[in-house]
Structure 1
Amino acid sequence: MIVTTGGRTDQQTIMHARSLSEKYNFPYINRSKQSICKLKERYQQDIITVSRKGIAIHPLTQEEPLTFHPNMAMVRAKRMLNGETDPFIETAGIAPGMSVLDCTMGLAADSIIASLATGREGRVTALEADPLLHLLAAEVLQAFTTPNQKINEAMDRIETINAEHHEFLESQTDDSYDIIYFDPMFSEIIDNANAIRNIHHQTRQSGLRPETITEARRVARRRVVLKDHWKSPKFMELGFIQLKRKTSLFHYGYIDVQD
């Protein structure tokens, strides 16, 4: 991985790129008017560009860059602040002060909503196995601001970790989190025409296994939640109660683990 600037740059973006390089221990390369294709050809590395528009990741094996703007999360957050219910929060039973582990952060849409629901006294930890997606989501969560301070604070409170969820769960003590959440579909919408394909191409997260759910039940105090396609066999295979939603392609399921 190398870090550079966008095609048009200024001192501020150069400083930002250098800071990102130091933070993640990736080499910084002067752009020197070279194209992304030329940089890929020369260095044979994934490339992070920093510009006035934000951060973009250019995987070595893909033509389209990965970018992120939390559009859908903002729509959901505003609805919640207006008193509307959110299916994820409702299914998980998330309330102020709870702790939530999002095992499949992707681009953090559900993590943002969970943080908004848990409030200042709560705790949201989000895992992402792919280092590119983790970097992109973590940096946008820190840098993105909205006119709504509650949403800004919700994004700031999220702790992101570059980790594979099964290994992370194995390292946790019993009853470490109130709610544990899985979204293996990575269905967030990002600023790419082929967003879902890009996310699936990038992810290194292992598929859900029965032993992972066993670990999740041990680590959860209240409930384990799964989001998947409505036709997915995993709800039944893994022991989730599926909540059917006639107007949605994605359903939620849950397992209560309270004594």
Structure 2
Amino acid sequence: MTIRVIIVDDQAMVRAGFAALLAAQSDIDVVGEAADGRKGVELTRGARPDVVLMDVRMPEMDGLAAARILLDPQEDHKDYMDHEDAVSRPKVLMLTTFDADDYVYEALRAGASGFLLKDAPPADLIAAVRVVAAGDALLAPKVTRRLIADFAQQRPAPRRRPAVQLEGLTPRETEVLELVARGLSNQEIADHLVLAEQTVKTHIGRVLAKLDLRDRAQAVIFAYESGLVTPGDR
């Protein structure tokens, strides 16, 4: 199955470089490019990509605003997205120059599947597109610990009856969610709980389904916003 990708970045050289790299892969098809978030949203409606590589900082409309339009079903964006668009939402992978960009946490809250540094090795970009297209989240454990905890502390979100939602999880699922939020990989969680890695994946899948979360990134956000894990915990 070919992964359809569009690239949204205000730097022409960055778009050209990413497009050339991705188009050279047999399983990836670059179906469009845009120079700002507004054009990126419009392009997404027509191209219907699987993955949108979205720069964080852009003129006209930044990547965060564009990501919210593409991903947030609660937002009223009738000028941009119709019902059919909403049903087939793409995965969004944010591109940033700094791994502590103020917009990254908000982008994850909006539903982005992760972020990638612009100076990452070519192999990492290719792998990131494949990981996100497959429905997983691109959040390295070390980055999870530092980035999410920092922004959860700086920009706490309103609590949304978290106790009620957490009550729907089994004790083991709650334990797995906490370890995910602390930045452990599946293998590290398996080692910590003395479980098979596949069992850990199963627990994570059930957590996502019960909490109606898109992926691992949103699970981490939920864990912090619900109070299950607090900034500074280790």
The structure with the larger Rg is 1
What TM-score comes out, normalization by structure 2 length? 0.34
More strand by share: 1
More helix by share: 2
What TM-score comes out, normalization by structure 1 length? 0.31
